[in-house]
Amino acid sequence: MILKPPGIEDIFPDRINRWNFVLNSAVDTFRTYNFKELIVPVMEFTDVFARGIGTDTDIVSKEMFTFEDRGGRSLTLRPEGTAGVVRAYVENGEYNRLSVCKFFYNGPMFRAEKPQKGRLRQFNQFGAEIFGSTDPYYDYEIISVVDEITRRVGIDSYTILLNSIGCRECRSEYMTNLKEYYSSRQENLCADCKRRLNTNPLRLLDCKNEGCVSLRSSAPVIKDHLCGECRDHFAKVKEYLDLSGIKYKEDPYLVRGLDYYTKTTFEFVTDKLGGQNAFAGGGRYDYLVEQFGGKPTPGVGFAAGMERINLIIENKDIPENGIDLYFIHTGGDTLTKSFELLNGMRKQGFSADIDPEVKGFKSQFKRAEREKSRYVVIIGEDELVSGSATVKSQKTGAQEKVPFDRIADFLEK
């Protein structure tokens, strides 16, 4: 027997209903906020992620699935969505001529991590990006979209963590102070953070090593170094959230695991996932489009994990999607008539099924129950003679004789 690789899941019909409930809730919310769907490739040239995410991040330095194609070019399976969306936005000039552009996407991502609950090697995300404005309203709108999706899927216990990590100008002094703080405590840093100390001190705040986490609690905070513009921007984001009644908690050390963020960063966290407590996060990235060769264009976005959200709501009752009709017959002419009606109902947009083998009524009723059919349509010898099917509601048990050519009308009522 050939097995799937570790850290990769098969999603069978018993889980797909919950899966689609989450995805449809997200898509409905995106459309409510006037986002347009975008589909980008699952693989890109490696430089897309090295340039966009940052070479000192764990994702690029440790976790990417990278390989050479037959032409010797380095390709990578996408570990996150934003870099590919930015590449597509820059490459397709029609859209980057718009003043403000709003996209959403969903699909599989890939990271070479140690598999554990809530952290897979192939996982799925949905997300959204807004290009073209530095207005703090759009930072608020992205957070509001995630909050709306979170409530729609039924997550009732979560916290929004919020921070501003400033712009290039005000972050420079902060990075100097951060480096000075950690330099005097190098002996307590993990090997990766000792390297980051000289290459990208901001990444020290994102380390999950226990020793590094304990040092972070006394480290300098970025809010003490924000320039006037960044301070005003962050205050306006919070004002929009307050006006909308969206509660949040400021976390002065929230930098997220990607190098492209500027100003606003945020995460949605819960205590229902154990160590992997974040199920969505994002922020602003005002220099990323420029890094990809586009004209200077601000952006803000987020991504959310499908598997993690499904874990949070695994005990929530989700309406199950069954079929409209299941045809029950006794074979021969009753099968022929059932087959004729089945095709007619499908053409009219009703979902319907049948077992062509001749089996007892009990067996066929069990199959109808397993398929969660709303109604069964019984075609026996008596029904053939009368020209009317026996239509039975699986929910109430009530049944009624309905002429063959009126079954659709009966269901629509």
The helix (H) or strand (E) run that includes residue 55 is none
- The per-residue pLDDT of the chain, averaged, comes to 91
Give me the pLDDT at residue 178, please. Answer: 85
17-64 per-position pLDDT tens digit? 899 999 999 999 999 999 999 999 999 999 999 887 777 677 887 889
CB 121 within 8 A of CB 77: no
Of 139, 165, 149, nearest in space to 239 by CA: 139
Q: Hey, CA dihedral for 148, 143, 125, 255, is it positive or negative?
A: negative
**Residue 279 binned pLDDT confidence (cut-offs 50, 70, 90):** very high
Interatomic CA distance for residues 268 and 117, integer angstroms: 18
117-140 per-position pLDDT tens digit? 778 999 999 999 999 999 999 999
- Mean pLDDT calculated for residue range 252-280: 86
- CB atoms closer than 10 angstroms to residue 218: 8
Distances (CA, A) of 243 to 137, 236, 240, 246: 12, 10, 5, 8
Biggest distance spanned by C-alpha atoms of the chain: 93
pLDDT over threshold 90, residue 228:
yes
Q: Could you give the count of Cα atoms lying within 13 Å of 259 in the half-sphere of its Cβ?
A: 19
Interatomic CA distance for residues 123 and 199, integer angstroms: 30
pTM equals 0.88
Q: Reduce the DSSP state of residue 161 to 3 states and report it.
A: strand
Q: Hey, CA dihedral for 135, 136, 138, 141, is it positive or negative?
A: negative
> Which one of 96-105, 116-125, 267-276, 302-311 scores highest in mean pLDDT?
302-311
Interatomic CA distance for residues 345 and 363, integer angstroms: 23
The helix (H) or strand (E) run that includes residue 159 is strand 159-164
Distances (CA, A) of 259 to 205, 243, 377: 12, 30, 60
Helix/strand/coil (H/E/C) assignment for every residue in 114-138: CCECCECCEEEEEEEEEECCCCHHH
For the chain, which domains are there?
13-167+227-312 (3.30.930.10), 325-412 (3.40.50.800)
CB 117 within 8 A of CB 147: no
